[in-house]
A and B are shown apart, each in its own frame.
Chain A
């Protein structure tokens, strides 16, 4: 199943992690790569949109509170271009009202921070495999 980087070559499906927190970036990168998914990193919303549109990850793990445009705005812009792009909102805003808010904004799923590593992997797997 591994894919090569670059268009046209077969390579494993990559996951874009958009988060301004370096610790969160490292954690996700470490866990997802161990699970077999190459990880792309974006430090803010605009960067996330740019990478999503140009590198076409299999899915996106998107934080909300980021400098510049926030995760929700980034998601809106990405979905506008690639409606089928699976996006999981991973946020420390974890009240029930927040969850509803994110789903209503178009998120495919919501992952509350802090999270169990197994939950992260299974959520990514379910979305990537569904494609």
Chain B
């Protein structure tokens, strides 16, 4: 049946499509049979084309028009009619085609317009559906109200935000749902919308839900014109901002914590404020900070904050009394795990050490955040609440962050405190040290000197810096170079110690021991130098005195040895001299005693005895003289002496020797006067002169001269005698030198003469020396200082 039906339908379509062509063919057939002019049949053709063009199928209507046009022109063309006929028939054909085209175009436009309208309507319908669905499913609460806030329409979300069924809220005023505190504000907003003062109003308010709880919402109101009634309405939009509020609170809390940390002066002032901030921002009842004991095995409460009434006091007090072990309760678990740990049901937490106190204070929940610094848990902050609370992830994250920040803060503060204490210790040492301490820059400038140093050196800081320290640095470098150490700035070795001499401000000289230690900066480069300065004057002087004493002792020992040696040598020489003299005395006196001598023999022998006895006597006198001089017991009878007079006197007293010598004098007539013992000076010159005579050959010359020589008078006695060998010349003034050397032993003398001469010259403050060449003679020179008046006179004369 259905196939038949379809077949018949197809047939109908074919028939309907073929109809215009059939009509054109029929008209053409009639026209051909009637041999009528195309003009006659034209209205028929035109009718067919018009009808065909009204159909939607434009191609077919053009086909019909084309067939009709062919039908119009075919006869004149086939019958070879004249051009005018052909032209008119072509015109007619064109009219047919034009009509078909025009009608087709018109029809197409009409159809397009109709279908567009239809499509718009469909889209509007769909859009309306989508909009409604969107409104209904929106996370945002949406609704319409009248200008006074009476709700006309609400979506599901809006109803849910209000905590009521949709029907319950319609007709109620928006203000009725606002929490009492926000009502006035909302009324005002609505009034402004109503007056047309504003077209939009927004605020965050609290709304009461049907169950009595409140929810914070962001409310947006917009005044809309209502076309249906002509009355404007208000679009109401509400968003639940509970989560944002909570996040804001957490952020605020973190910010507040940071603020306290930044502004605090120390842990003691900051911790209560931190605990208070955590409680108030996060809505907890009380908080306490458990700090790790020094042994790291238990924690005790160090700080607490009670944000509620007296009930929590008992709990906090109980907490103070205990030492908490690891793993004990929520705090112990937070300590062990190093993570934020919560106790949702404090009443039934069996491991909670303060269970009774918590129950008594009606505390229900607790959260513990570890206070972490350097990866170590140094304490735990415990927050307790009298409402049951389950911390969400945000809170946990926030508390963990706060724990780290507080931990770093405590660590910083403790380090700073330790540094301050250490600094204070060192400062005290610096200020109170009995040892002088100076801090020197790497450039060698004095940065700081402690009171002990300033006192030791009797300087103020300024003179210490500008003069005393640079002087000391120079002294250090000199001492360093002497002991082959590096200069102060070149290479400071730690603990390098040197002693230097330095003057104090008051001009006292001290021995200072400088101990130098360089202080490196963090990169190891010497940043500055500490110099410890000790006054070792007493030590140094004691040791100096000691070594002087030791030296003196050594010298004394050497002297004693020398004296001992000299003494036995002296004894040997003296006894030899005496025995030699006594040999004659004893021998001849024995001869005389035994008798039997001639008178002239006795006389001669008596002469020998007398001479030797005299020699012994002189020897004893000279020895005693010398001893008195050497021991300083010889007194001088000082007076003003004219040396020229002394020289002349000595010449007159010269002992005539075996040979004849000629005396010459070369005296300065303007010779200044000297201060001296005249007799002693005559003794000196006589001695030298007698010596000269003794060693002179027959016809030799002895010349005496005098002249002023600066502050002295220089006297010289020059002979033309045998001279003194070079190896003897340094010893001529030694006692018994003559005897010892065996030189000129035939020439009488005690061997003490020149020794006595030297002593007398030196007692006058003068000097004696000898020049000699063997075979040419000797020159003895000595000086005697001028009398003080003579010095003046001489100066005047020179002036």
Contacts and interface: CB of A to CB of B under 8 A. Distances in A.
Interface of A: 20-21, 23-24, 26-27, 30-31, 43, 65-68, 70, 92-95, 112-117
Contacts of B746: 20, 43, 67
A27 B576 contact: no
Given A23-B584, A92-B583, 20 more contacts: A21-B580, A24-B580, A26-B608, A27-B587, A30-B591, A65-B745, A66-B742, A67-B742, A67-B743, A67-B746, A92-B577, A92-B578, A92-B580, A93-B572, A94-B579, A114-B583, A114-B584, A115-B586, A116-B590, A117-B590
Interface string B723-734: 000000000000
Contacts of A27: 583-584, 587-588, 591, 608
A31 B591 contact: yes
B742 A70 contact: yes
A117 B591 contact: yes
B575 A114 contact: no
Contacts of B579: 92, 94, 112-114
Nearest to B576: A92
Contacts of B612: 23
Interchain residue pairs A-B with the least CB separation, the first 6: A23-B584, A92-B579, A114-B586, A114-B583, A27-B587, A113-B583
Interface residues of B, number: 26
Contacts of B590: 116-117
Q: Tell me if A's interface is mostly helix, strand, loop or mixed.
A: loop
B585 interface: yes
B595 to A, nearest CB: 13
Contacts of A65: 576, 739, 742, 745
13 contacts: A23-B588, A27-B591, A67-B742, A67-B743, A67-B744, A67-B746, A92-B576, A92-B578, A92-B579, A92-B583, A95-B572, A115-B583, A117-B594
B259 interface: no
B611 interface: yes
Nearest to A25: B584
In this complex, which of A24, A68, A113, A115 has the most chain B Cβ atoms within 10 angstroms of its Cβ?
A: A113
Contact of A117 (B576, B585, B587, B611): B587
Contacts of A92: 575-580, 583
Contacts of B54: none
A82 to B, nearest CB: 24
Contacts of B577: 92
A26 B601 CA distance: 12
Nearest to A97: B572
Nearest to A113: B583
B737 to A, nearest CB: 13
A114 to B, nearest CB: 4
Nearest to B740: A65
Contact of A93 (B576, B584, B586, B608): B576
B101 to A, nearest CB: 178
Interface string B743-760: 111100000000000000
A114 B608 contact: no
Interface in B559-603: 572, 575-580, 582-588, 590-591, 594
Interface string B585-629: 111101100100000000000001001100000000000000000
Contacts of B611: 23
B743 A113 contact: no
A27 B744 CA distance: 22
Contacts of B583: 21, 23-24, 27, 92, 113-115
Given A27-B588, A30-B591, A117-B591, A67 B745 contact: yes
A24 to B, nearest CB: 6
Contact of B587 (A31, A67, A93, A95): A31
Contacts of A114: 579, 582-587
A21 B584 contact: yes
A113 B742 CA distance: 18
A21 B582 CA distance: 12
B608 A113 contact: no
A68 B579 CA distance: 21
A119 to B, nearest CB: 11
A30 B746 CA distance: 20
Contacts of A113: 579-580, 582-583
B710 to A, nearest CB: 41
In this complex, which of A23, A67, A117 has the most chain B Cβ atoms within 10 angstroms of its Cβ?
A: A23
A32 B612 CA distance: 21
Nearest to A26: B608
Contacts of B584: 21, 23-24, 27, 114
Given A23-B608, A92-B575, A66 B582 contact: no
